[in-house]
Amino acid sequence: MAVKTVDYIYGLYNDEEILLDAVRTANAEHLEIGEVYSPFPVHGLDPLLGLEESRLHIAGFVYGGLGTLTAFLGMTWIFTKDWPIIFGGKPYWSVPAFIPITFELTVLFAAIGMVVSFYIVCGLGPGVKEKTLDDRITDDKFCIAFNKSEVNIDAVNAFFKNTGAEEVNSKSL
Amino acid sequence: MSSPVSAIRPPLVTGHKSYHDITEDLVIGTEKTPTASWVIGLILSVTLLGFGIFCILWTIWNGIGTWNLNRTIGWGWDITNFVWWIGIGHAGTLISAILLLFRQKWRTGVNRAAEAMTIFAVMCAGLFPLIHMGRIWMAMFIFPYVNTRGPLWPNFNSPLLWDVFAISTYFTVSLLFWYTGLVPDFATVRDRAKGFRRKIYSFLSFGWTGSAKHWQRWESLSLILAGIATPLVLSVHTIVSFDFATSVIPGWHTTIFPPYFVAGAVFSGFAMVQTLMIITRKIMKLEDYITIEHIESMNKVIVTTGMIVGVAYLTELFISWYSGYVYEQFAFFNRALGPYYWSYFGMMFCNVVSPLFFFSKKLRRNIQFTFFMSILINIGMWFERFVIIATTLARDYLPSSWSFYVPTWVEIGIYLGTFGLFFTLYLIFVRVAPVVAIAEVKSILKSSGDQYTGGHSDSHSHKAAPAKKKTLVDTAANVVSDSLKKLEGIGPKIEQVLNAGGIYTFEQLSQTSVDKMQSLLDSADGNFKGNSPESWADQARLAADGKWDELKTLQDKLDGGRY
């Protein structure tokens, strides 16, 4: 990924309800919010920011299906084509006995696939340097950040003042 | 958005914590110098672990003959310990997954440590099948990889192989679930740290920033992982029970085994969580986060699963009699009155009789008693596995091959060694990671913090205890307020209006005249024409006195707060 720095102006709020009101105000004033950070998931924020629902669960379903097929078709091929052996007088293709492993691999594939996808789409992973605007965001501050090139700075300053931001700072990431 | 506050549920976070207090309280365990008790605990654990490793090496070097297993009793302490540990490893995922799906908020206090416990217990469990293979260097033969022997594949129809898949999947999924939950909390630790420590936590936290989109995906991921981990956790002990149930041994060949084993696993798992959490909350001073409510909730799970286990024991007995099958009948007769009768009665007492004490609310909320019970249940559940495995095998079809079994020092040493492994890992965990999920506790604070639920932690017990006298404004200029929304006719907006008018508590509201309230409503922004304050003072009077039952009766009569 190309490294490009963005100049942010951001305000810190003390409470998620003030944050939600501020986001509503920003929407009403047509200020384009760059990013919102919080110490825990704030419910009700996603629709205000216009975030679409995550598609991770669809990916999970696909990975799970892949696991089902891998396990079931794999065992079928091994026990009917590659090396057929009779166990306890049962047919080569003994479907009920394949169910437990098929289930386990479905879960395994879905879980690993989703977790890996999560870290990739979020751009997170071991060795990724964090781009934090403020160290208190993971503690007790709720942050609205604007990209300086996209907004009118005076309007943003006025917005922060009106919506009860505790602090307003700038930082380049 | 204002969080829904339940009028009857007790608070789960006490001590009037702010978000910052939560961070402070939960991160401090990783920041301060280890205490002497921690160091002593670690030394003891590592010593035990060292002895365990020695015994494992002894087994590998001299062969499986160093154990007292014989031709009749092929599974002894090894598989008993395996099933025992894997059962203990069921509580963590149950707490984090099933309770997440059921939206049980109390899970946030204990899920992190319980999940860690799960992972460590599964590691201990996994050791036993590996060692008992005898030739551990061939352990990879159990996995279906493309090998130079044909390729020769394992038997996919065998429950022992299902076990391999179940346990490795369970371990992997639990680890991923646990770590994904830890990432935001590692970021919290990181942002308070400096220098080298910051570098370590920066690595561990994967670059987490807490942006809205990341949180959204994180929640989606947690929910789906919980959704798939729920059937997984049930499948794991089901498959472990198949190891026995698919055999033709009397006493094992029963269809009741899967639910019976799963209930037993949850039962023993919660007992182990209690053992650990009671010590952890005491030593790390987490009483505000792991409250007596958490302990009571877990005790309710224990009494429920304990009764399921009890019913299963009795069902087994009944069915063996009812089957008319002499070998089956003998197996149970032998369990209760044979050479290992003491383990059978130990199991019956610890697992069936003793949990019934938890029907007493007083005992459920007694920490010392809970701790004692948790140890008793752990012992009882070990006996259960011993009864099922060794006792049953000791008396098989042919009296000429009947045998008796006592473990050697090597087998005992390996078992002790797994305790060493378990506690070593747990002690390292409490130093490195926040023991309580910080972000998750913050997210339930508004709905379950005691300052928001009104602070009357005993309101659910229907005792008309007078509400604590509150000062209106405390020193930090934070208003200590009651949740006025509990009164019929008062919503979040009106609560704000009343607060703006200087009314924060039930006491104050009860002394305010209807005219004053009406004038507050009239002068506020918004349309409150539909709301009439005529009953508020009376309702507030009852709430202030803690008369919740009477308040409920009154509210049933009221229509939108009107008489």
For B118-132, the DSSP string reads: HHHHHHHHHHHHHHH
Report CA B219 to chain centroid distance, whole Å: 20
| H-run or E-run covering A147 | strand A142-147
What is the ipTM for the molecules in this complex?
A: 0.92
Is A41's CB within 8 Å of B144's CB?
no
The domain over range B19-144+152-446 is classified in CATH as 3.40.228.10: no
* Residue of A14, A93, A107 best to disrupt the B interface, most CBs of B under 10 A: A107
Report CA B209 to chain centroid distance, whole Å: 28
Tokens of B152: 């020769």
Q: What is the mean pLDDT of chain B?
A: 85
Query: Exposed, middle or buried by CB within 10 Å (0-12, 13-18, 19+), for A98?
Result: buried
Q: What percent of chain B has pLDDT over 70?
A: 92
The pLDDT, as a whole number, for residue B525 is 67
Q: What percent of chain B has pLDDT over 90?
A: 39
Closest CA to B446 of B108, B143, B180, B211: B108
Mean pLDDT, residues B237-255: 90
Domain ranges of chain B: 19-144+152-446, 465-557
The pLDDT, as a whole number, for residue B458 is 43
Tokens 């803690």 correspond to B546
Which residues of A fall within a CB distance of 8 Å from B1? 16-17, 20, 42-44
User: Is the predicted pLDDT of residue B286 greater than 90, yes or no?
Assistant: no
Query: Roughly how many angstroms between the first and final C-alpha of chain B, as a whole number?
Result: 29
CA dihedral (B422, B426, B427, B432) in degrees, to 10, reads 140
The pLDDT, as a whole number, for residue B6 is 65
pLDDT tens readout for residues A56-84: 889 999 999 999 999 999 999 999 998 88
Hey, is the C-beta of A173 within 8 angstroms of any chain B C-beta? Answer: no
Mean pLDDT, residues B173-200: 90
Contact B87, B118 (CB under 8 A): no
CATH topology of domain A7-51+130-172: Alpha-Beta Plaits (3.30.70)
Inter-helix orientation angle B438-448/B19-31, to 10°: 150
Give B480's pLDDT tier (boundaries 50, 70, 90). low
Is A111's CB within 8 Å of B156's CB?
no
Is B216's CB within 8 Å of A75's CB?
no
Contact B543, B467 (CB under 8 A): yes
The one-letter code for the residue type at A48 is: L
Give A140's pLDDT tier (boundaries 50, 70, 90). confident
Which residues of B fall within a CB distance of 8 Å from A16? 1, 446
Cα gap B284→A128, rounded to integer Å: 31
Is B161's CB within 8 Å of A125's CB?
no
Hey, is the C-beta of A9 within 8 angstroms of any chain B C-beta? Answer: no
Closest chain A residue to B223 measured between Cα atoms? A57
pLDDT tens readout for residues B42-53: 999 999 999 999
Give A2's pLDDT tier (boundaries 50, 70, 90). low
B209 CB-near residues (< 8 Å, 6+ apart): A37, A130, A131, A132, A137, B187
Is A127's CB within 8 Å of B203's CB?
yes
Contact A37, B209 (CB under 8 A): yes
User: DSSP characters for B387-430?
Assistant: IIIIIHHHS-S-GGG-------HHHHHHHHHHHHHHHHHHHHHH
Contact B101, B260 (CB under 8 A): no
Strand partners, A147: A8
Domain ranges of chain A: 7-51+130-172, 56-122
Q: What is the mean pLDDT of chain A?
A: 87
